[in-house]
Structure 1
Amino acid sequence: MRSTRLLWRSAWIAAVAATVLLLSGFVYAVRDLMNPSPSTAVPPPKATAPAADPVKQNKIQIVALGDSLTKGMGDVSGNGYVQDVKRLLAKDTGKSAYVISNLGVNGYRSDQLLADLNTKPFLTDLLKRANLILLTIGGNDLFNYAWQEFNLTTNINPEALLQRLPPNVKRLDSILTKLAKVNPDARIVYVGLYNPFIDTDKTGKSSDVIQRWNYEASLIADRYPNVTVVPTFDLFEKNPAKYLYTDHFHPNQEGYLRIAERIVQALK
């Protein structure tokens, strides 16, 4: 009889212990779900679809869009980075490369490009024909006011740049999202921003804003397997005068070539 009571007491204690353990685990799980710590928070899932690879196609078909960098302003040869990319890819791959259309517009901002993508069906048709889409945008959103007033004694206002960041990053998000959905089979290359005033801003704060922009662009690109951000900040960092046009804003011929080489390197 005594052994039976001991058996039941042991079973009861074990049941209580299991219940307490279960409740503790439940409370911990709820608390962790509601207030995840940095070490336990689960990042959003990333797309797992295979990335588009234009260099493996029979021919490389390019559509370029954006601002004056895509247009090639500042390159006396008239090539710009778009024609340099086409030439270098053809040389490296031995395949035919074509620029279907260069839609770069001098002075274009992200709001103008986004409006075009949403209202001009012919752009969608052109983009669907490409397996490589090249894009520059954002420089005018952040820097146009400074460039128009620029002289070698001008002090760049980093606070003004910072205030321009959130709405323009949001539009960049919409642009890359639109492109990724219009042509999920194309490789979309967004050319990151460099700081054309790096040698005139002695505080270095304007560079911090540009790096933040590039970081935000990378976060956006991470959501889409066919979007690549190509950094250019370092290409102009050490000796900007050597690679910038006389307007101290656009790349010169050598500067565009460096951008093109970086893009081709990213596509290999």
Structure 2
Amino acid sequence: MKKLIKLIVVLLLASLLVAPGAFAKSDNAKESLVAVGDSIPFGLNLGQTNQNPAKTSYPYLIGKLADLRVRNLGVPGWQSDQLLEALQTDQKYRQAIIHSDYVAVTIGNNDLLAILREAATESGGNQALFQQLLQLKLSQSDVFSNIQQIITEIRSLTDSPIVLYNVYNPFQLTDPLHYVADAVLPNINAAFAGLAFANEDVYLADAYTAFGNNQALYILPGDIHPTNAGQAKLAEIGLQALSLY
């Protein structure tokens, strides 16, 4: 019996000695950033094949500058309902969020572009009708309801700070759509600001103001996606929003 008690005491002491190193998270382990959303965090058209996220996309730049591990789960073409479904049902997304230290969300751009195209097609070139249709379709869209649900779903999985990117103007100054977008984006981005304000530890990255009218520098020619300089600007405002500078 004495030998058994002695053995138990030895095992308990041994477990106490090894527990900090064996079971606790290492103090030297890097924190992680998980980026979810569309082609913007993916870095579409910056790589040679678009098979994988571009290493010059803003999540990787944030990771490099803030010494974070990065999981880039951006998917080109995704709208808000697709991201919401993934966060609700796909274990790859759910587990990534659970193990995150920071989360970056860029979504809604494709929803809004689809609305813009629908209004342009249905108006048949009638500018007054186009504006009416655009406002009507925006008011009927569930994009902001979806984004709120996305935030709620993320928050159910982690208490990590979230940076929410709003919508920059993707059209060059020579494109008439630039001025159409500038007329509607302030109200759209006010909704993004409202979502950030209404949710705890959600911080707005103001891509619209950061890009301003510098599309020639920040947007790829003949495209709507950021250049390397544009991705660097998105990384800069993300770092600022998360106070990682």
Q: Within 2, Cα distance between the matches of 1:212 and 1:198?
A: 20
Aligned to 1:87: 64
Aligned to 1:103: 73
Aligned to 2:20: none
Are the counterparts in 2 of residues 110 and 168 from structure 1 also a CA contact under 8 Å? yes
Q: 1:130 aligns with which of 100, 114, 136?
A: 100
Q: Within 2, Cα distance between the matches of 1:214 and 1:129?
A: 29
Are the counterparts in 1 of residues 37 and 73 from structure 2 also a CA contact under 8 Å? yes
The answer as to 2:113 corresponding to 1:143 is: yes
Are the counterparts in 1 of residues 172 and 178 from structure 2 also a CA contact under 8 Å? no
Cα drift, residue 130 of structure 1:
0.3
Say which is worse superposed, 256-265 or 236-245, in terms of deviation: 236-245
Aligned to 1:70: 41
TM value normalised by structure 1: 0.66
Going from structure 1 to structure 2, the CA distance change for 1:203 and 1:116 (only over 3 Å counts) comes to closer
Q: Within 2, Cα distance between the matches of 1:250 and 1:217?
A: 20
Q: Within 2, Cα distance between the matches of 1:183 and 1:160?
A: 39
Cα drift, residue 161 of structure 1:
4.0
Q: Within 2, Cα distance between the matches of 1:227 and 1:124?
A: 18
Q: Within 2, Cα distance between the matches of 1:158 and 1:235?
A: 26
TM value normalised by structure 2: 0.72
Going from structure 1 to structure 2, the CA distance change for 1:158 and 1:256 (only over 3 Å counts) comes to farther
Q: Within 2, Cα distance between the matches of 1:249 and 1:147?
A: 14
Alignment of 1:103-122 (within 5 A): 103-122=73-92
Aligned to 1:221: 196
Are the counterparts in 1 of residues 39 and 77 from structure 2 also a CA contact under 8 Å? yes
Structure 1 residue runs of 4 or more that deviate by more than 6 Å after TM superposition: none
* Number of residue equivalences: 200
- Secondary structure of the structure 1 residue equivalent to 2:105: strand
Cα drift, residue 238 of structure 1:
2.0
Say which structure, 1 or 2, has more relative contact order (CA 8 Å, 6+ apart): 1
Q: 1:189 aligns with which of 163, 171, 191?
A: 163
| Identical pairs, percent | 27
Cα drift, residue 235 of structure 1:
2.4
Aligned to 1:20: none
Going from structure 1 to structure 2, the CA distance change for 1:208 and 1:85 (only over 3 Å counts) comes to same
Are the counterparts in 2 of residues 198 and 207 from structure 1 also a CA contact under 8 Å? no
Post-superposition CA distance 1:229-263 (Å, at most 9, x none): 11011222222122101233001111110110111
Aligned to 1:177: 152
Q: Within 2, Cα distance between the matches of 1:159 and 1:88?
A: 44
Q: Structure 1: which 5+ runs fail to align?
A: 1-56, 91-96
Are the counterparts in 2 of residues 192 and 230 from structure 1 also a CA contact under 8 Å? yes
Going from structure 1 to structure 2, the CA distance change for 1:160 and 1:176 (only over 3 Å counts) comes to farther
Q: Structure 2: which 5+ runs fail to align?
A: 1-27, 49-53
Q: Within 1, Cα distance between the matches of 2:131 and 2:147?
A: 20
Going from structure 1 to structure 2, the CA distance change for 1:74 and 1:225 (only over 3 Å counts) comes to same
Post-superposition CA distance 1:47-93 (Å, at most 9, x none): xxxxxxxxxx9632011111000111133493211111111112xxx
